[in-house]
Chains A and B, each alone.
Chain A
């Protein structure tokens, strides 16, 4: 980085901070008023699950409830319905072995490939030749119907973003009432990943005459595989 830019920035920084500091010098933080917070009614696990599914469906996501063992078959059927023959998945996820089985299954002509390449140099392939993907998720939020993606070295960020159809596996055990409780209980303050994402439906826009259209830039379809054992 050029020294010029650093210098310029440092000058601006001290000027801005000086101006701000002179205004709040000696501010007493202990006198800050208490911040209220709304007490939401407690919902049972079943109610939360219903809320979660309801919001996702209202946002145009497809929700399929199933058991772990049914993942490969379900994905295979959904792909077949859409005439899709290719699927990209990450390594070392709980479902990775199922995807490898799917790839090897001689009864389907689906080829499932692992995302074990760098995006740089493979952008064309990901953008133009990858019709579907599957990822895991870290948690889910009932109040807003949101799924928490926590991309890793083995499940890259673009895996859940670029392919037009995104399957995401959600474990009902990891459903939290609200975003606030999720942050608290999982102690997100301590360690956040490169990129954490809440997803609450397929990509959409209402930018043309307030008319809702799906598949603006990200996935056109979000298929939630909800494991409820």
Chain B
């Protein structure tokens, strides 16, 4: 067994993130995939633009929501305690997990305690993060995704390629083929209404039978002990209403202080994500079934997951990563994501948010390619509804990735793992050159005079570009010559 697989706690995503460069090559060559992404991203960019007709409103809301999230992060430990207290007072159980394995284990035990055999899941990226489906299936618990996109992805044995629209990499023909291969009696059609109708039929049977519903959480309100879910399909409501046991799982950063914090965040979330002024359903859960009520789960549990979030929290700059409300706008507007698609990253969270959050979850050693996969165009930071300075954080992660060994506390797991001695040496030389004028001038003089010796082929650079050519003289020399000439003219004129 390879050394890197020895850690049983390592996420399966660490390995695929390490293969980033190969993944990119694979997916850039897939024309159909590229068309699917291009079409989808153009659509989502347009939808978002139309949802914010008033620029002043947008900017005020962004500033407001950034400050809300920063306040909630500053008070995070206190709010988590308050949340737990209020949820418990409402009858909802709370569990804490530091690692993905711990979270999965808690969930498996909760299901076992109820003798649960079948689970229906609402959309939850955190449960993707923990690879919960694999974990439960290995324990003979059927775990069915019920969000239409997630259902498609699960049938295809893939994982979501987008955090809001999980099956965005597939077109309707591919979905139709998938249904034909997997659903008995499905009459092949590419009519989207019919495809959704088929999914509805299969999944409603499951809702009716399932013992357990598992969902994520969009906002957990500390003040009232309320779990809020944003969705369009109604599968989230099914999972939280029909089975006897509801387990919600979320990251510790999802807590907000006040109920009043919710409306502005909700408004920015749905408009940034899909351009909707509000989602079809906004589901607020504050209790399990109360006495006399005829439906709803008997037990509701919340699992709070850390998985690297406290590491991001420990650094004031990197803490901003935790402001994220998972709207997906940064990936929709990212020129890199649009071209390579969501699977190339190899991580659960793709695109710009994935690049800044995955290093905390998987360590920089597995992910140090990701922060470099950016043209630094800045689009992500400009559209982010909570104003996370994503480009700045990418630069910061690049620095962390190549950082030299030091004696202080490490900022991140895997810091310095991307450091190459040759690269470090080159920069060392560069820095010396720029410190001493004499060395700089002499080396530049030689470089320009020996420019003919520059190779025509410089690795990948010249595979798509012509090699850069040094000028015959440095800029310094040219300016100097010009100044000399002018002085000479002045002297002549002054005669």
Tell me the A residues contacting B by CB distance below 8 Å.
1-2, 4-5, 8-10, 12-13, 15-17, 19-21, 23-24, 27, 29, 32-33, 35-38, 40, 55, 59, 115-120, 123-124, 127-128, 143-146, 152-153, 156-158, 161-162, 178-180, 183-184, 188-189, 192-211, 213, 215-219
- List chain B residues, Cβ under 8 A from A193: 286-287
Q: Are A205 and B148 in contact (CB under 8 A)?
A: yes
Which of A21, A144, A204, A213 touches B77 (beta carbons < 8 Å)?
A: A21
Q: Are B95 and A218 in contact (CB under 8 A)?
A: no
**24 contacts across the A-B interface (CB closer than 8 A):** A2-B109, A2-B113, A12-B98, A19-B313, A27-B74, A35-B64, A36-B63, A36-B67, A120-B244, A120-B295, A123-B208, A157-B295, A161-B237, A195-B283, A195-B284, A204-B232, A206-B274, A207-B149, A215-B197, A217-B203, A217-B233, A218-B234, A218-B237, A218-B280
Given contacts A5-B110, A153-B292, A218-B238, list 10 more A-B pairs with CB under 8 A: A1-B113, A8-B106, A16-B252, A38-B61, A115-B294, A144-B267, A194-B290, A195-B286, A213-B193, A217-B237
In the assembled complex, the CB of A2 is this many whole angstroms from the nearest CB of chain B, namely 6
In the assembled complex, the CB of A115 is this many whole angstroms from the nearest CB of chain B, namely 7
- A128–B208 alpha-carbon span in the complex (Å): 10
- A201–B233 alpha-carbon span in the complex (Å): 10
A195-B286, A217-B146 are contacts. A16–B293 as well, Cβ < 8 Å?
no
5 closest Cβ pairs, A-B complex: A218-B234, A119-B295, A207-B149, A216-B233, A144-B278
Q: Are B192 and A8 in contact (CB under 8 A)?
A: no
Which of B281, B296, B310 touches A19 (beta carbons < 8 Å)?
A: B310
Which of B39, B60, B223, B294 touches A210 (beta carbons < 8 Å)?
A: B39
- A59–B146 alpha-carbon span in the complex (Å): 22
- A162–B208 alpha-carbon span in the complex (Å): 10
Chain B count of residues within 8 A CB distance of the other chain: 105
- List chain B residues, Cβ under 8 A from A211: 172, 192
In the assembled complex, the CB of A222 is this many whole angstroms from the nearest CB of chain B, namely 9
Q: Are B148 and A207 in contact (CB under 8 A)?
A: yes
In the assembled complex, the CB of B192 is this many whole angstroms from the nearest CB of chain A, namely 4
Which of A19, A120, A179, A202 touches B280 (beta carbons < 8 Å)?
A: A202
SS of A interface (majority): loop
Q: Are A157 and B241 in contact (CB under 8 A)?
A: yes
Which of A38, A145, A184 touches B57 (beta carbons < 8 Å)?
A: A38
In the assembled complex, the CB of A94 is this many whole angstroms from the nearest CB of chain B, namely 20
Q: Are B280 and A204 in contact (CB under 8 A)?
A: yes
Which of A35, A157, A199 touches B67 (beta carbons < 8 Å)?
A: A35
- A144–B277 alpha-carbon span in the complex (Å): 6
- A194–B193 alpha-carbon span in the complex (Å): 33
Q: Decide yes or no whether B76 CB sits under 8 A from chain A.
A: yes
Q: Are B284 and A216 in contact (CB under 8 A)?
A: no
How would residues 280 to 316 of chain B score, 1 for a CB under 8 Å from any chain A CB and 0 otherwise?
1111111111101111100000001010001001100
A23-B313, A144-B278, A216-B200 are contacts. A37–B64 as well, Cβ < 8 Å?
yes
Q: Decide yes or no whether B184 CB sits under 8 A from chain A.
A: no
- List chain A residues, Cβ under 8 A from B208: 123-124, 127-128
Task: Enumerate B88-102 residues with CB–CB distance to A below 8 Å.
Answer: 93-98, 102
Q: Are B76 and A204 in contact (CB under 8 A)?
A: no
Q: Are A180 and B260 in contact (CB under 8 A)?
A: yes
- Which chain A residue has the least Cβ–Cβ distance from B301? A1
Q: Decide yes or no whether B171 CB sits under 8 A from chain A.
A: yes
How would residues 227 to 247 of chain B score, 1 for a CB under 8 Å from any chain A CB and 0 otherwise?
000001111011011101000
Q: Are B147 and A5 in contact (CB under 8 A)?
A: no
- List chain B residues, Cβ under 8 A from A12: 96-98, 102, 306
- List chain A residues, Cβ under 8 A from B148: 205, 207-208, 216
- List chain B residues, Cβ under 8 A from A156: 293-296
Q: Decide yes or no whether B105 CB sits under 8 A from chain A.
A: yes
- A127–B295 alpha-carbon span in the complex (Å): 13
- List chain A residues, Cβ under 8 A from B313: 19-20, 23
Q: Decide yes or no whether B370 CB sits under 8 A from chain A.
A: no
A179-B263, A207-B166, A217-B203 are contacts. A38–B64 as well, Cβ < 8 Å?
yes
- List chain A residues, Cβ under 8 A from B93: 1
Q: Are A194 and B192 in contact (CB under 8 A)?
A: no
A1-B113, A153-B294 are contacts. A197–B237 as well, Cβ < 8 Å?
yes
Which of B71, B205, B281 touches A197 (beta carbons < 8 Å)?
A: B281
- List chain A residues, Cβ under 8 A from B36: 209
- A27–B73 alpha-carbon span in the complex (Å): 11
How would residues 182 to 219 of chain B score, 1 for a CB under 8 Å from any chain A CB and 0 otherwise?
00000000001101110110011101110000000000
Most buried by A among B63, B208, B235, B282: B282
- List chain B residues, Cβ under 8 A from A158: 241-242, 295
